Structure 1
Amino acid sequence: MSAKVPPTNEQRQGPAAGESTATVLVALGANALIAVAKGVAAVVTGSAAMAAETAHSVADTVNEVFLLTALRSSARPADREHPLGYGRARYFWALVAAGSIFVTGALYSAFEGVEALTSPSHELENPLVSYVVLAVAFVLEGTSLLKGLKQTRGEARASRQSFRQFLRTSDDPTATTVVFEDSAALVGLLLAGAGTALHQLTGSGVYDGVASLCIALLLALIALRLGRTNMRLLTGVQADPRLVRAVLVQLGDEPEVDAVVDLLTVQLGTDQVLVCARLDLVDTLTGAQVEQAAVRIGRRVRERFPDVAEVFLEPVPRDDAEVRERVRARYGSELAEQIVNEAADGLPGSRPA
């Protein structure tokens, strides 16, 4: 029996290893310059939309610092306090970055929009400054977005996934966060430009306020999307389903294994997976042979699947009532039976998820 094996960490990243840091650094530099320019333009013109965009860029700049912290923290090796490593630190800091987008960006933009709508209308001063700043910001944000897209598209191709599927399921939140941030930034620049132009043409600050509220809504949606993604990764999501199926077949093919009774995988961090399996072993094995088989099987799983950081194996009879009930409660009766019968029937049509 065989299963389609997902690409390893090395195969996915190849010569692009370390690109996440480069992508974040490019975004950090671009956003810091843009934040300063927008702040000056907001003061000179009195535009609420430009003030909202300033908050947007400040939030993005702070987020890049959080993402750099995430990359550094998650790279720390396992120790006594964290025996399975610090991989999930990347998800925590990415979640903090999503919260920063909402608090610093969305709420402040909403405040500027409400103030513009409720305050007496004012003249827009030196609108040309806003247009120049928005144009320069568009170029810088576009450059950062292209860098992020290049990385994520390359990783999606290496992972044999569509771009959309990769963004939805990737276990690396750094590059995907940059892509979402910069995409939102470009849309925000267009909204700010439209609000400024309509304010200039009509003399009404309503358009300026509406543009700020639209920017606030955009940032809130992006923050929600990123927050949900990182919450999913923080709460013990299973590994790539292709890896789950391949490990299931690998275990079932071992000569000492009669059946795979249960299989659990947990994403510990980017390219770090914990595998826990309950196996019904051949009844004729001695105690020493069981121990040797467990060591050999665990070693073979780690060698074949480099993303697997740890393997825990437990010998159990396939008809143990308590174990079977726990598996059924997790997967459902039909899928639970498919897992048990995998060694005899081959790869199940469904995945344990």
Structure 2
Amino acid sequence: MTVLVALGANLLIAVAKAVGGLLAGSPALLSEAAHSVADSLNEIFLLAALRRSRRPADRRHPFGYGKERFFWSLLAAVGIFVMGGCFSFFQGLEALKGGAKESHSGYVAGLVVLAVALLSEGVSLLRALHQVHRQQGTVAQGLRDPALRTVLAEDSTAVLGVILAIVGMALHMVTGNVVWEASASLAIGALLVFVAYRLGRDARDQLIGQAADPELSRRIRALLQAQPEIDSVESLLTMQLGLQSLLVAARVDLVPGLDSEEVEDVAVRIKRSVAHTVPEAHQIFLDITDAPTRAAERRGDDDARDAAGSSAAAREHGGS
């Protein structure tokens, strides 16, 4: 719902900014129009992400399609950079080179458009903040919704961008110096490039397989260590598969004296405990051995290394 509200607001504001910018010849207002167009296209990307990421797992994608959200969020970040940031830089540089009109006709209407845009973007930002607050406790592993995160970033930069455009246009009108407005366009471009970089970096980390939140990993490890049948937790690996989907893989040593049936029962119970404590853990894999076996393997490895060292020493002594 938040994405739909943001999309509708951005489309209306983009048209108003574009018309006002063309009539006034304002580089700052045109930069903001490009910003709103980029935001509108990004909302379409995010709607596609929301729809496609809900598809169930199949043979080709046994872990589901949760990472679709991260992929489309990456495309949204690229859209912010290319359409918003680059066009704003272009408008600012053109204004500095004397390409902007010095006539202020239409600037009053442009400022009115920006004031309405500021109100609309502010409402959208408050709605996104409200949804973030409402969802804060529902994602235990700390994975934030990339769609909601992108909307929040877009609304925040939209508010700051409109403020920069208003200041730049107002100072241009007062001083008659286009440098103020060109500087506002360049500042808007720099803001959009920074936001696009941060969003793209987060999406990249999640696409290549980001681990769960450290606090959640500690909870899972503590849960495993608290099981009476587990002697030690040798390793614990986690990976985010989607917004509320987590893969957990652990190698554990069991206490000695358990037969095969008991080991199987213990494995089933441990998986159920992890799934109950961490509902997001949809994929749980346990590599189970008993402590004596692991100790024997370690002794065997040590003996193999010692034998290899003795053999090498003997060859060296024989060669001398």
- TM-score scaled by length of structure 2: 0.87
Counterpart of 1:267 in 2: which secondary structure? strand
Counterpart amino acid of 1:217?
A: A
- For the residue of structure 1 that corresponds to 2:144, the secondary structure is coil
**Does 2:252 align with 1:279?**
yes
Indicate the SS of the match to 1:190.
helix
Q: Give the aligned partner of residue 68 of structure 1.
A: 47
Q: 1:79, CA displacement in angstroms?
A: 0.7
Map of 2:218 onto structure 1? 245
Q: Count the aligned residue pairs.
A: 295
In the superposition, relative to structure 1, how do residues 130 and 235 fare at CA in structure 2: closer, same or farther (>3 Å)?
same
TM-superposed deviation, 1:73: 1.3
Larger Rg: 2
1:184 counterpart residue number: 157
Contact between 1:171 and 1:269, CA under 8 Å: does it hold in 2?
A: no
Give the aligned partner of residue 316 of structure 2.
Answer: none
Aligned-residue offset at 1:233: 1.6
Whether the 8 Å CA contact 1:114–1:209 is kept in 2: the answer is: yes
Task: Call closer, same or farther: CA 1:217–1:273 in 2, change over 3 Å.
Answer: same
**CA displacement at 1:157 relative to structure 2:** 5.6
1:121 & 1:303 partners in 2: Cα distance? Answer: 62
How has the CA–CA distance of structure 1 residues 120 and 227 changed in structure 2, closer, same or farther, with 3 Å as cutoff?
A: closer
How far does the alpha carbon of each residue in 1:17-64 deviate from its partner, in whole angstroms, 9 at most, with x for none? xxxxx1111111110110000010011101011110010000011111
Residues 1:121 and 1:263: Cα distance change in structure 2 (over 3 Å): closer
Are the equivalent residues in 2 in contact too, given 1:121–1:204 (CA < 8 A)? no
Instruction: Note the C-alpha offset of 1:121.
Output: 5.4
CA contact (8 A) 2:143 2:212 kept: no
Letter in 1 for 2:96: L
Q: TM-score, normalised by structure 1?
A: 0.79
The residue aligned with 1:313 is 286
Deviation at residue 321 of structure 1 after TM alignment: 4.8
Match of 1:37 in 2: 16
- 1:171 and 1:271 in contact (8 A); partners too: no
> Measured at CA, do residues 121 and 285 of structure 1 come closer, stay the same or move farther in structure 2, by a change above 3 Å?
closer
2:134 maps to which residue? Answer: 154
1:126 to 67, 83, 106: 106
Shift of 1:287: 2.5
The alpha-carbon distance between structure 1 residues 321 and 65, as it changes in their structure 2 partners (threshold 3 A), is: farther
Q: Alpha carbon RMSD of aligned pairs, Å?
A: 2.0
Q: Which runs of 5+ in 2 are unaligned?
A: 302-320
1:214 partnered with 2:187:
yes
Unmatched runs of 5 consecutive residues or more in structure 1: 1-21, 161-165, 325-353
The 4+ residue runs of structure 1 with deviation greater than 4 A are 157-160, 317-322
| Distance 1:261-1:109 versus aligned 2 partners, 3 A rule | same
How far apart in 1 are the matches of 2:76 and 2:190?
A: 17
User: Which of the residues 98, 120, 136 maps onto 2:116?
Assistant: 136
The alignment status of 1:51 with 2:30, answered yes or no, reads: yes
